[in-house]
Structure formats: structure tokens, C-alpha cells
Amino acid sequence: MNKQQGFTLVELMITVVIVSILAAIAIPSYTNQVKRTRRSMAAGCLQAQAQYLERWRTSKMTYVAATAQPCTTEIQPYYTVSVSGLTAGAFTATAVPIGAQASDKCGTLTLNEKGLRASSLLTVSECW
């Protein structure tokens, strides 16, 4: 007797359904984790900006004329980091999500000279 071996159409369809369900769960979870990692990098960049500005103020006694320092190249396609509101005693560092990060649930991250953190969409505890 010659017995044929292989998969039936039903077995193949069950496998496709199982893989589809796993992908439907895994892909959004992975995407959220990647966005969270990028957000952490942006928060780190804002902290680095604040440290630079504090060193500037220590030597010049003002924040005026200070410039933003470039962050790592990994963050540049996903956030635009800028420093604004430079006065003798105040500044605001801002990270605006762009590109693939634009749909991030936290939106724009900000940090000021007092160390106050903010997010444009959610609470600080959820985003920082």
C-alpha cells in the first residue's frame, strides 16, 4: 500500500489562524515597547540638555545665548529636541515626537530649569 503523507487543508488553515492570532497579539506589543524605548531615550536627551544648560549657567550666570546640544543619532529620526525660553534664570527643553513616533501616547515631553517634567497627553508618571 502506498500511503500519502502531507497536510490537509483543514490542518493548514488551523495553523494559519494560530499564527495570525499570535501575530495580532505580538506586533502591537512590540510596537508599543519600541515607542517606549524611544521615549526613554528622548527623556534622557532632555536630562542631558538640562545638565548642559546648568553647566552653562554656572559659568556664565545666565541661560541666555546657550544652545541645544545634539543628542544621539538614534533619537533624531523620532524626536525633535529644542531649548526655548532662555532667560537669565529659566529655560524649557522640549522633545516633540515626529515620524514613526508621532503616534506615541505621551506626545511632547518637556523639562524646565526647576526639574519639572511634563507630557502633553498623559501624566508624568506614565511617560517619564
DSSP letters along 2-36, please?
----S--HHHHHHHHHHHHHHHHHHHHHHHHHHHH
pLDDT tens, the chain, 128 aa long: 677 788 889 999 999 999 999 999 999 999 999 999 999 999 999 999 999 999 999 999 999 999 888 888 889 899 999 999 999 999 999 999 999 999 999 999 999 999 999 999 999 999 99
Q: Where are the domains of the chain?
A: 9-127
Please check whether residue 38 is in contact with residue 102, taking contact to mean a CB–CB distance below 8 angstroms.
no
Quick one: CATH architecture of 9-127? 2-Layer Sandwich (3.30)
